Amino acid sequence: MKNLFDQTRIKGTMLDNRFVRAATWERMAEEDGTVNDRLIEVYEDLAKGGVGLIITGYAFIMDDEQPNPKMMGMSNDSFIPGNAKLVKKVHEHGSKIVMQLAYGGSQTRYQTEDRVIFAPSAIRHPRTDVMPKEMTQEDINMVVKAFAKAAQRAKTAGYDGVELHGAHGYLLSQFLSPEFNKRTDKYGGSLSNRMRIICEIYEETRALVGEEFLIMIKINASDFADEGFTFKECQLTCQELASLGFDAIEISGKTPPETKKNTESVLADYAKVIAEQINIPVILVGMNRTPETLHNILNQTHIEYFSMSRPFIAEPALVNRWKVDHKTAKCISCGQCYHPEGISCVLK
């Protein structure tokens, strides 16, 4: 029987347990994206608290593309020293850490008047009202290289890997979605065309970082939208990305519309199917709250890891607590974590 506290490996990276801190925008970096002592303390507390694998808040990959204030940056070499200090603190406590890399695209309201915002197609975003620029081949090549160079910097800083943010409506997610991708060239139309930019980023990145450095991706189980990325397309995409060489896939997305109130691990049924179809680890995120539930999923499916965000805001030492106390996470999913001065829990 598998245990939540098993030592496991993702490729050559040894993890002390199956718990993952999901990428969380802390809003605590300096305005320019530089890591500071306050942010380092957040990650050191997670490592002290027993998290096996930490995924950072998303980091911007281009100097002029920052979708949110006070998020981490990895768009140039000036960010390496601060991140190296952060990674060192995490490793001192036995945790592993990967940096999430993202291009926000039109799903942003932050300083949009001061910059060109790329998207697969020139479609006004229905929630932000941002009208982006449809990317040319040159633009796509530039973004692909920016992802790869950011990953190379992350490796230089000592990270164990990177995670591409291919979910939640950001640029890579928009390429996958027929709702936002109306292109008629080799990056639009068929699913294989819509995932092409992700494949190119992987290949460009792998060439720079080598085989042992982890390259993961976060992807929506479905957009749960009439014209959006479907669960069937997610399955086919995950199969292709696993074959290409990605090291792990985190299944994420909105809460499915059929979900009943107070349901835990809301994407488990979707992640379960994908985990049966691919030969790399699947990480489940979304309302993971109770060890007993996670233990049952672990032993009844092929899902290998469980990531959480808000529970670790409420309890950075949650994993250590769960070693002796199996009560449900303190987090009540109230969604009041975010404040202009940075994330914090109202229950503390």
Q: Do residues 103 and 172 touch, judged by C-beta distance below 8 A? A: yes
Distances (CA, A) of 200 to 122, 186, 193: 22, 12, 11
What backbone torsions phi and psi does residue 134 show, to the nearest 5 degrees?
A: -65, 130
Q: Is 305 a catalytic residue?
A: no
Maximum C-alpha span of the chain: 56
DSSP state of 15: E
- Look at residues 196, 257, 217, 192 and name the one whose alpha carbon lies nearest to residue 55: 217
Any bridge partners for residue 101, and if so which? 59, 164
The one catalytic residue in 58, 103, 170, 202 is 170
Quick one: how far is CA 200 from the chain centroid? 18
Question: Strands 8-10 and 13-15: what pairing?
Answer: antiparallel
Cite the active site residues.
170
